[in-house]
């Protein structure tokens, strides 16, 4: 077996020379996403780091057409683009909304919810760096409990837990939901490729560390991202149809302390608060586990993967729509 | 990018859009540190006295280039088949994988490579020069030190002549190591390879006896590597007990008393020493273990008496202090050799000129001595006597230097040498167990030969260029263990204990190709790039490129110096260096 190696699609669509900070997780997310999606892709980018990263006019790093749109409109713009392509008879091009956590969890939320409810046929990728980073590190509803941001200073760090966007979207019963991380490029590419094969609304949640916003050295980006997975801070999941949960990676369950200690944004935390965070993580994990178990039971009692049939249904519905 | 039809601003659509790639933007100017590829030294390479380039030949094995791997080993060690079997493998003790799960079975791979090439001959390109030099060098002794020195000299273009006192070349390898550990066809093959490179071996040529020392004067340099072939007398080895002298006078001349070297010599030259029912071996080194395991086989192979359990090793310290290779001790134990620790012989008691009993004294461990091991201290009034028919004393060996004519500077019983193996007499060098600071192992003798060859080369004014610059050594905490799932170390195959203790056939077998490849995959390859693409995979700036030969290059026009590649490199084959400031 030997060393872990990654077999990624060779084609590099993302160009160098983009404006991301050194060690940017969101940029790696884009690089892998483009590798998985291929050149027949249109990106819709609302206000977020990637608005800047893509480069100033007349330059663009993405290597595929990018439609820059307003903060709250990623999902609605993507819906419109997809509809437009369908009208032109282009059923091949994948439409991808690529948004930060602010544009997904907060400002773009109603558009996202609407698109999910309508089961629009595009992929929504949220690269989650857990705050409004390019505007100067303001807290978002994706910022975790206890974190420092410029609007939640260390004297009164964020007192609320991170919004569970995955559960909210699962409640919309969209065909495919997945969480992934830039530290596991093979996992990320496999999930996006799987999403590409499915019709309807697909949501990919990418855990993307931000060196300046989280206050760590850029070289540790991958390490931190990996620690988040290992310590169960961020589970790697797939949810089919909003009900069928599957765990992609069984984490070792290292103490969350190791993960927190690596980041300046958690430096002010007291031992008691760290314990509290650990407790929350453990409870959340138990809850997730019960969902995984019941999903498995349902799959077994249905005599096969439930999701597979449902996906076919979505494909068929997509095709029917196209014929009309 | 798509070609657009507009040529003027008026023709442009009423929205801003980009038509150029950011590739034109040199974001490399943001960088203040620069990642570079830099191979480093692995700890096993440092641990190997011969200095074998272990990760490099491992990589060749990984690619199934077994011949290339063999050539790589041959650069430092002409006897991989021998060391792959008998080396105490200090390399494995240094292996960074030890801190993670188990060390890589390096010596098994060395043996695998050597055995894969059993029918191959070393290529001419193993020599570092085509030029045959006019200088001639004499080497006294064809043990591992002598062979290694002559071989390295031959690689450098010298004509080397080995004078061997025995009837066959090999020294201790031939006469000191039993067949079950080192089959002689392996030794013959590797000596044959050395001879094929132009080394001349004159057997039955004992300097000072049938060859006068004067004959060596026609050589430009001499390397003395006569080894330590003479067993120490018990009285010398057990000075601690000197209050009650125990030496030749007190039982040393009795029938049934052997020295370890004598015993093994007789066995290895086709003789079968007469041993009795109850064999005692005194000593804790490799000679003692070899003698004990051989005695066990001797009893069995003759079919005369069941000997199992009747061979006992007596050692004055405890198992932890035994200088023998731990694996060998374990093997001996498996085969039925018994051990008695913390005892020292006092007197051998004879009956009608034959050994009948031995008087022993209990010991306890005191403070650590110069060798770092705890000193045995006699326990007062603890003497006791046990029955014995055969006593093999293996308490250490020393060189026989009576042939040396000059008043060589000596330290104890050995030739005193400097770090460069020079003796003080111009042109005369010495190494291996005959010289100072020996450690009595094959691989250290090979190192001594290699170093002496370099020193002789320098002495003769050539300084043939050899590679092997010491660089920074990779520490275990620098390995990114995420990339290495835990895996069990390969277990070398061995014949059953029942079979092994009944004959002198080789006990351990070579790894299968499958096992060897799996074991090589366990290697972290500390400091040596294996082109695993991890650096490329995690570059957010798409600034690492791979050419058609699989080599990496960094696009410094765009690399922002985040350092992820360096941090993620599983094996520390990259590093970050400060960027020089340029105020352009």
Q: Which residues of A touch B25 (CB under 8 A)?
A: 17-19, 55, 59
Please list the ranges in chain B whose pLDDT falls under 50: 1, 236-249, 301-309
pLDDT at B236: 43
CB nearest to B540's CB, from A2, A28, A217: A28
Q: Which residues of A touch B482 (CB under 8 A)?
A: 4, 226
3-class DSSP string for B89-146: CHHHHHCHHHHCCCCCCHHHHHHHHHHHCCCCCCCHHHCCCCCCCCCEEEEECCCHHH
Q: Which residues of A touch B30 (CB under 8 A)?
A: 22
pLDDT at A236: 96
Q: Does A252 touch chain B (CB under 8 A)?
A: no
| Helices B260-268 + B286-302 axis angle, to 10 | 50
DSSP single-letter state for residue B99: G
Per-residue pLDDT tens for B80-116?
Answer: 999 999 999 999 999 999 999 999 999 999 999 999 9
Q: Which residues of A touch B557 (CB under 8 A)?
A: 16-17
Question: ipTM of the assembly?
Answer: 0.91
A6·B534 Cβ contact <8 A: yes
Query: Architecture of domain A25-323 in CATH?
Result: 3-Layer(aba) Sandwich (3.40)
* Number of H-type helices and E-type strands within chain B: 18, 23
The model's pTM? 0.86
pLDDT at B308: 45
Task: For residue B414, give Cα distances in angstroms to B409, B423, B432.
Answer: 9, 11, 10
Please list the ranges in chain A whose pLDDT falls under 50: 307
**Structural domains present in chain B:** 130-229+415-459 (3.50.50.60), 231-398 (3.50.50.60)
Euclidean distance between CA atoms A242 and B357, whole angstroms: 86
pLDDT at B97: 94
Euclidean distance between CA atoms B13 and B2, whole angstroms: 15
Q: Which residues of A touch B22 (CB under 8 A)?
A: 15-19, 54-55, 59-61
Give one word for B64, left, alpha or beta, with left for phi > 0 and alpha for psi -120 to 50: left
pLDDT at B582: 67
pLDDT at B32: 92
By a Cβ cutoff of 8 Å, what residues of chain B touch chain A?
A: 16-27, 30-31, 482-485, 487, 518, 521-522, 530, 532-534, 537-538, 540-543, 555, 557-558, 560-564, 566-568, 570, 576
Query: Do residues A14 and B544 make contact, with C-beta atoms less than 8 angstroms apart?
Result: no
| Helices A109-118 + A74-87 axis angle, to 10 | 40
Per-residue pLDDT tens for B311-320?
Answer: 899 999 999 8
Find which of B14, B22, B34 to mutate to test the A interface (most A CBs within 10 Å of its CB): B22
Per-residue pLDDT tens for A216-270?
Answer: 999 999 999 999 999 999 999 999 988 889 999 999 899 999 999 999 999 999 9
Find which of A1, A12, A16 to mutate to test the B interface (most B CBs within 10 Å of its CB): A16
CB nearest to B538's CB, from A17, A63, A222: A222
pLDDT at A72: 94
Task: Look up tokens 């006791």; give the residue.
Answer: B384
Query: Do residues B346 and B244 make contact, with C-beta atoms less than 8 angstroms apart?
Result: yes
* Cα of B355 to nearest chain A Cα, Å: 57
Structure tokens at B557: 């026009």
Q: Which residues of A touch B564 (CB under 8 A)?
A: 23, 218-219, 221-222
Q: Is the peptide bond preceding residue B289 cis, with omega within 30 degrees of 0?
A: no
pLDDT at B241: 38
Closest residue on chain A to B31 (Cα): A22
DSSP E strand stretches across B128-178: 136-140, 159-163
């Amino acid at each position: 077996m030997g060393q872990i190696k990654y077999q990624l699609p060779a084609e590099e669509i993302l160009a160098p020379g983009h404006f991301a900070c050194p060690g940017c997780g969101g940029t790696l997310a884009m690089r892998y996403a483009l590798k998985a999606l291929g050149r027949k892709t249109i990106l819709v980018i609302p206000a977020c780091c990637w608005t800047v990263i893509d480069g100033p006019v007349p330059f663009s790093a993405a290597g595929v057409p990018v439609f820059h749109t307003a903060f709250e409109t990623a999902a609605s713009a993507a819906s419109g683009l997809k509809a437009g392509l369908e009208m032109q008879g282009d059923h091949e091009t994948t439409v991808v909304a690529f948004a930060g956590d602010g544009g997904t969890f907060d400002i773009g939320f109603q558009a996202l919810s609407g698109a999910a409810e309508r089961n629009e046929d595009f992929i929504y990728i949220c690269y989650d760096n857990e705050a409004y980073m390019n505007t100067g590190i303001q807290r978002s509803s994706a910022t975790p409990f206890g974190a420092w941001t410029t609007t939640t200073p260390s004297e009164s760090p964020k007192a609320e837990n991170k919004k569970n966007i995955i559960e909210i979207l699962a409640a919309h019963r969209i065909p495919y939901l997945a969480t992934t991380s830039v530290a596991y490029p093979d996992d990320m590419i496999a999930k996006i490729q799987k999403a590409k094969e499915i019709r309807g609304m697909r949501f990919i949640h990418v855990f993307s560390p931000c060196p300046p916003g989280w206050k760590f050295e850029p070289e540790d980006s991958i390490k931190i991202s990996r620690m988040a997975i290992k310590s169960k801070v961020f589970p790697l999941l797939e949810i089919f149809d909003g009900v069928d949960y599957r765990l992609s990676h069984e984490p070792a369950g290292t103490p969350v302390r190791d993960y927190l200690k690596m980041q300046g944004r958690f430096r002010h935390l007291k031992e008691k608060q760290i314990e509290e965070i650990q407790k929350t993580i453990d409870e959340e994990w138990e809850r997730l586990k019960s969902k995984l178990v019941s999903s498995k039971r349902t799959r077994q009692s249905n005599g096969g993967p439930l999701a597979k049939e449902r996906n076919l249904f979505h494909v068929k519905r997509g095709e029917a729509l196209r014929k009309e | 990018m798509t070609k657009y039809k507009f040529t003027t601003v008026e023709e442009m659509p009423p929205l801003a859009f980009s038509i150029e790639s950011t590739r034109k933007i040199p974001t490399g100017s943001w960088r203040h540190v620069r990642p570079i590829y830099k191979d480093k030294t692995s700890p096993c390479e440092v641990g190997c006295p011969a200095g074998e380039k272990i990760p490099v030949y491992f990589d060749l094995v990984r690619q199934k280039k077994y011949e290339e791997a063999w050539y790589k080993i041959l650069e430092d060690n002409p006897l991989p088949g021998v060391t792959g079997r008998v080396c105490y493998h200090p390399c494995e003790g240094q292996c960074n994988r030890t801190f993670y799960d188990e060390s890589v079975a390096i010596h098994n791979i060395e043996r695998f490579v050597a055995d894969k090439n059993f029918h191959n001959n070393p290529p001419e390109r193993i020599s570092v020069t085509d030029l045959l030099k006019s200088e001639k060098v004499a080497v006294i002794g064809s043990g591992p030190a002598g062979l290694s020195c002559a071989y390295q000299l031959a690689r450098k273009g010298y004509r080397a002549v080995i004078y061997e006192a025995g009837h066959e070349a090999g020294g201790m390898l031939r006469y000191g190591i039993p067949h079950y550990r080192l089959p002689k066809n392996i030794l013959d093959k590797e000596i044959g390879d050395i001879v094929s490179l132009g080394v001349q071996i004159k057997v039955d040529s004992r300097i000072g006896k049938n060859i006068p020392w004067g004959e060596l004067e026609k050589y430009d340099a001499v390397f003395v590597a006569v080894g330590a072939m003479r067993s120490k007398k018990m009285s010398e080895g057990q000075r601690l007990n000197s209050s009650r002298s125990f030496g030749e006078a007190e039982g040393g001349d009795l029938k049934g008393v052997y020295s370890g070297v004598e015993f093994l010599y007789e066995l290895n030259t086709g003789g079968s020493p007469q041993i009795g029912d109850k064999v005692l071996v005194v000593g804790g080194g490799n000679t003692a273990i070899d003698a004990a395991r051989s005695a066990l086989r001797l009893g069995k192979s003759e079919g005369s008496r069941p000997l199992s359990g009747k061979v006992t090793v007596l050692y004055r310290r405890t198992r932890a202090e035994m200088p023998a290779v731990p694996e060998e001790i374990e093997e001996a134990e498996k085969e039925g050799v018994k051990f008695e620790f913390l005892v020292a012989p006092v007197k051998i008691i004879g009956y009608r000129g034959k050994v009948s009993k031995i008087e022993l004294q209990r010991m306890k461990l005191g403070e650590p001595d110069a060798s770092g091991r705890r000193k045995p201290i006699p326990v007062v009034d603890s003497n006791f006597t046990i029955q014995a028919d055969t006593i093999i004393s293996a308490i250490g060996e020393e060189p026989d230097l009576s042939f040396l004519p000059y008043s060589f500077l000596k330290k104890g019983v050995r030739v005193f040498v400097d770090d460069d193996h020079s003796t003080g007499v111009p042109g005369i060098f010495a190494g291996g167990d005959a010289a100072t600071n020996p450690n009595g192992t094959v691989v250290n003798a090979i190192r001594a030969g290699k170093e002496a060859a370099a020193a002789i080369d320098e002495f003769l004014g050539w300084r043939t260029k050899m590679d092997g610059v010491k660089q920074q050594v990779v520490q275990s905490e620098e390995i990114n263990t995420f990339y290495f799932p835990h895996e069990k170390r390969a277990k070398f195959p061995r014949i059953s204990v029942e079979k092994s203790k009944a004959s002198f056939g080789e006990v351990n077998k070579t790894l299968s190709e499958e096992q060897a490849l799996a074991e090589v995959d366990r290697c972290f390859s500390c400091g040596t790039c294996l082109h695993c693409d991890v650096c490329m995979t995690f570059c957010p700036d798409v600034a690492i490129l791979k050419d058609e030969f699989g080599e990496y290059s960094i696009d410094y026009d765009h690399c922002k110096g985040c350092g992820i590649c360096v941090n993620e490199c599983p094996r520390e084959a990259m590093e970050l260096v400060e960027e020089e400031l340029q105020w352009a």
